[in-house]
Structure 1
Amino acid sequence: MSADAQLAPRVNYLLREDKHHAELYRDKKKRDDLQAQMAVYWINDSMNEGERGEIQIDESVLASILESGSFEDGTNNLTPPPELKQLEELLALPKTGREQALHLDKTFFHMAVLSANKARLVIREWIHTSISQLLMHLERYVAAVRIVQPTGEKGYLLPLGVLIRAVDMSPGLVRQCLRMIYQGALPPAELLPLALQRFRSLKVLSDPKETWRYHSSASLIKLVLTYGKEEANTMQSLNNHCLQPAYICGRLLAVLEEIQRRASGYRIGSTIVDRFYGAASTAPASTFGSLLRLSTTAHLPKVSVELGRLLEEVMKQLDEAGGFPTIFNLREQAEFALGFYHQRAEFRSRHQANQTKETGESQ
């Protein structure tokens, strides 16, 4: 049976019920947006009542990754959909336990992406897969996309709706991401340059109101770099054992920024990152020399010995990895961004911990 024939009798019901649909894309600047896309989804199975396991899941859990979440204050305090927590708990179950409890090979997930074409609805994408296969793909995606928060706190799963808004994905790119999430396709080629472009924006790097975009673009960068690899788990936060020169250079820039910030007592308006991130992340050999001279002469004498030792450790790692490369290609720029993001998050975590300790001691 064709996708159209299966879907037609269900459309009105699916579009009425919140648990069966999610808006994927809409250009809010246009009143009549023919590019707007809606995902509708449902589960069916061949089990009878006696076969159903103790654990039950529904469409809203499997599709929760699509939601936009909400921003409580309109800026950064993202509240992910509660179903995302249920999805992560489901993925954390041992695979054998999941199959026994859910009879996953007898249960199927269906999704269609719809858009308007004048007076008709058009199916732009059709996904049909067993729950066992679906959970395998979701598990791979979730591991790759999860990353520590900019504050250094444990990362939570960012919904696709947030990632779409963060980097302004096109409708076609959104559908490619659905194939990756639900069918195990490789990350789209255009995703990395788009995420990098957003990440290195001066506003995203420096404006507190753009923290959610900073977090989201870093999450997408990690997704592309680690999808389907063991590093998806080991690179969720700072990895002191990663010896990729680009990753180490990214860490180095974050260390130099922290030295500058501490030397000023955290009262500095703009940092070396605001002026030199673009150059450092593309042509490190010609950029870091002057930054290191500035740091060692003007800033390093004013900071703790501990931070000076960290600078020495990072420089030693870089020397052992072959020193500063002349230029970084696109993938190396992504590794640089990841190293910078991880090291910066680590510093912010320590800074908050110290502030909390000082507050506790003063009370």
Structure 2
Amino acid sequence: MILHALCDYYRRKPDLPRLGFEIKAIPFVFELSPAGHLVQIEDTRYSEGKKKFPRNFLVPQGAKKTSGIAANWLWDSAEYVLGVTKLGRPDRVQEQHAAFQVKLDELADKTNDAGLNAVLTFLKIRDTSRLEIDPLWSEILETNAVVTFRLNGDFELVCQRPSIRAVLEGAGMETEKIICAISGEPDGFERLHASIKGVWGAQTSGANIVSFNKDAFNSFGKEQGANAPIGKRAAFAYTTALNYLLSKESAQRIQIGDASTIFWSEQHTEFEDTFSDLFNEPPKDDPAKQTRAIEALFKAPQTGTYNDDGEKTRFYVLGLAPNAARISIRFWQVGTIAEMSVRIRQHFQDLEIIHAGFEKPHLSLFQLLKSIATQEDSKNIPPNYGGEFMRAILAGLPYPQTLLQASIRRIRAERKVTYPRAALIKACINRQTRYSPSQEQEIAVSLDDSNTNCGYRIGRLFAALEKAQEEAVNPSATIRDRFYGAASSSPVTVFANLMKLKNHHLAKLDDGRKRYFEKLIGQIMSSINDFPAHLSLADQGRFAIGYYHQRQAFFTKSESTNKSESTNKGE
């Protein structure tokens, strides 16, 4: 299903390389005269900040590099192309160059091309003195850079010349014929599939989704790709599409934890263009980009954005993660655009919670995952969390319990109920409540006086006691810093003392504030019959939300009072 959808995407994109070719970053191009003399070495690199990046070129598909020797057609590393080395083994380099020369001779037998003849003459002459005076030569030699050729006066590379392309596009199709497992049609057999690059954390040389390199993976005595018979056309199509979607320039990839996530639709749609904006951190030069995308998503039912093609057009989301020399599938979600948009809207509705005016109205996945990582460092985001989170969003399922556990664990460790953590806890509990037979009511966006859940009420009480302490003595460490962990998990062990301590704090307040806190505490306590010995994980989450809601209510009332006083003074 995954490979079939990728093949369909490849057919949808006529600008992708055709069979036998690929896009390759090549930093240096040797420009040759028709007589095979070096005219210049062109540096194709461009600067971005302090780094240089080579231009991409359409070149013949590279050979699968292993520990053995395998040369490419008319492009390769300097050791292969020129037979020179500074760091490698001279004997092996000569074997590599001989393999490259064999490739050129094979081409020369099939076409009499002026560009190819110039390359053959250049390599025969081997004018090393001309190369050594070029300022780029030492860098090419030291880095074993990838190089290719262009004939002087041409715009395209030698490997892109029409006669060369005509030969290479049919190369390799004379292999054993099979019925392709993807297309269901007769095709040449692909023994080794091209490497997939761009998966975060995987080998820089690339990794594979389809790979059989151990006897334990084989069946019925078959070797390598014969265990999953895929034709050359289909193998080229899915690997080319996957590399394109995972490329640095791709607008259809996002990083979610350790999962490199790509997405596409059956046909081009607006949803395909805006999907990444819904989950990615907005760019610094356009901080409102995510907000605009989410607002447009919520207005879609009124505007009818996805009512026509969106109800039928399928949308695909694929999460990939490294696994040694292979790539593992973190998640694979398929649904219509209309279905996906409904589930994503529900996700952001579940995350809605009261927050300060200066904080973002919507939270990205990165912010949520970072909030539950140790020291809020993205490097400490546990593996699998991102993939499982995204799968639950797109499938409309309850969020993983590990997210709730991690949120509560970080709050207890740091004694901070932050906006992202509170939003995540609320969403986790509400989605779980929706899918369970529990009679518990869902948590509201802001303070809910009607919520009688014991954990929620005790959390509100804890916030009220802390606020009274702050106003009475302004301590350097509040009861939250000293007792939050015990209060949120085993309330009976600490609240008897906290209620006694409260009387000392209230005695230091003026009569108005004292009456306010007594009334508030009484109202909260009205539905607490006794402090429980233990709170379940979900009720520990409700404790955190109750505490957070009550604290936000204090700040909201305080801001409203200050504004009212300022208005009265102005009058």
Structure 1 residue 350, shift from structure 2 partner: 2.5
Paired with 1:4 and 1:116, the residues of 2 have a C-alpha distance of 22
Please say if 1:160 is aligned against 2:365.
yes
**Would the aligned equivalents of 2:252 and 2:272 in 1 still touch at CA under 8 Å?**
yes
Please say if 1:286 is aligned against 2:498.
no
SS at match of 2:446: coil
**Would the aligned equivalents of 1:65 and 1:160 in 2 still touch at CA under 8 Å?**
no
SS at match of 1:165: helix
Paired with 2:366 and 2:513, the residues of 1 have a C-alpha distance of 41
Aligned counterpart, 1:221: 425
Compare relative contact order (CA 8 Å, sep 6+) and give the higher one, 1 or 2.
1
User: Alpha carbons of 1:326 and 1:64: their partners in 2 closer, same or farther (altered >3 Å)?
Assistant: same
Q: Which has the larger displacement, 129-138 or 107-116? A: 107-116
1:243 to 441, 448, 452: 452
Deviations 1:61-88 (A, max 9, x none): 323343234789xxxxxx9661343223
Paired with 1:228 and 1:196, the residues of 2 have a C-alpha distance of 16
User: Alpha carbons of 1:4 and 1:98: their partners in 2 closer, same or farther (altered >3 Å)?
Assistant: closer
Paired with 1:240 and 1:173, the residues of 2 have a C-alpha distance of 34
Deviations 1:321-362 (A, max 9, x none): 423223212111111111001101111223334445566777
Aligned counterpart, 1:108: 314
SS at match of 2:270: coil
**Would the aligned equivalents of 2:282 and 2:289 in 1 still touch at CA under 8 Å?**
no
SS at match of 1:281: helix
Structure 1 residue 119, shift from structure 2 partner: 5.6
User: Alpha carbons of 1:257 and 1:185: their partners in 2 closer, same or farther (altered >3 Å)?
Assistant: same
Please say if 1:63 is aligned against 2:270.
no
Count of residue pairs brought into register by the alignment: 326
**Would the aligned equivalents of 1:282 and 1:327 in 2 still touch at CA under 8 Å?**
yes
Structure 1 residue 93, shift from structure 2 partner: 4.2
Q: Which has the larger displacement, 183-192 or 298-307? A: 298-307
Aligned counterpart, 2:100: none
User: Alpha carbons of 1:176 and 1:307: their partners in 2 closer, same or farther (altered >3 Å)?
Assistant: farther
Aligned counterpart, 2:333: 127
SS at match of 2:266: strand
Please say if 1:273 is aligned against 2:518.
no
Deviations 1:24-58 (A, max 9, x none): 23xxxxxxxxxx43111122349xxxxxxxxx733
Q: Structure 1 unaligned runs (5+)?
A: 26-35, 47-55, 73-78, 206-213
Paired with 2:283 and 2:462, the residues of 1 have a C-alpha distance of 33
SS at match of 2:534: coil
Question: Structure 2 length normalisation: TM-score?
Answer: 0.51
**Would the aligned equivalents of 2:244 and 2:250 in 1 still touch at CA under 8 Å?**
no
Aligned counterpart, 1:50: none
SS at match of 2:260: strand
Paired with 2:249 and 2:450, the residues of 1 have a C-alpha distance of 49
Amino acid at match of 2:363: L
Please say if 1:335 is aligned against 2:567.
no
Q: Structure 2 unaligned runs (5+)?
A: 7-237, 374-380, 435-439
Aligned counterpart, 1:51: none
Please say if 1:9 is aligned against 2:244.
no
Please say if 1:141 is aligned against 2:347.
yes
SS at match of 1:163: helix
1:86 to 293, 297, 300: 293
Deviations 1:239-272 (A, max 9, x none): 11111111111001111111111223xx432211
**Would the aligned equivalents of 2:283 and 2:289 in 1 still touch at CA under 8 Å?**
no
Paired with 1:203 and 1:317, the residues of 2 have a C-alpha distance of 22
Aligned counterpart, 2:264: 42
Paired with 1:320 and 1:17, the residues of 2 have a C-alpha distance of 57
Paired with 1:251 and 1:57, the residues of 2 have a C-alpha distance of 44
Amino acid at match of 2:263: Y
Q: Which has the larger displacement, 189-198 or 15-24? A: 15-24
> Highest CA radius of gyration, 1 or 2?
2
Structure 1 residue 296, shift from structure 2 partner: 1.7
Amino acid at match of 1:111: V
Structure 1 residue 120, shift from structure 2 partner: 5.5
Please say if 1:195 is aligned against 2:407.
yes
Amino acid at match of 1:194: A
User: Alpha carbons of 1:8 and 1:183: their partners in 2 closer, same or farther (altered >3 Å)?
Assistant: farther
User: Alpha carbons of 1:165 and 1:148: their partners in 2 closer, same or farther (altered >3 Å)?
Assistant: same
**Would the aligned equivalents of 1:152 and 1:345 in 2 still touch at CA under 8 Å?**
no
Structure 1 residue 319, shift from structure 2 partner: 3.4
Question: Structure 1 length normalisation: TM-score?
Answer: 0.78
Paired with 2:344 and 2:3, the residues of 1 have a C-alpha distance of 23
Paired with 2:329 and 2:490, the residues of 1 have a C-alpha distance of 45
Q: Which has the larger displacement, 294-303 or 218-227? A: 294-303
**Percent of aligned positions with the same letter in both sequences?**
25
Paired with 2:284 and 2:544, the residues of 1 have a C-alpha distance of 25
Paired with 2:283 and 2:525, the residues of 1 have a C-alpha distance of 41
SS at match of 1:302: coil
User: Alpha carbons of 1:315 and 1:69: their partners in 2 closer, same or farther (altered >3 Å)?
Assistant: farther
Higher-helix-fraction structure: 1
**Would the aligned equivalents of 1:248 and 1:317 in 2 still touch at CA under 8 Å?**
yes
**Would the aligned equivalents of 1:263 and 1:303 in 2 still touch at CA under 8 Å?**
no
Please say if 1:312 is aligned against 2:535.
no
**Would the aligned equivalents of 1:91 and 1:139 in 2 still touch at CA under 8 Å?**
yes
2:385 to 168, 173, 176: 173
Deviations 1:283-335 (A, max 9, x none): 22231122122122233541463563354344344333423223212111111
Aligned counterpart, 1:324: 531
Paired with 1:236 and 1:153, the residues of 2 have a C-alpha distance of 17
Aligned counterpart, 2:125: none
RMSD between superposed Cα atoms in Å: 3.2
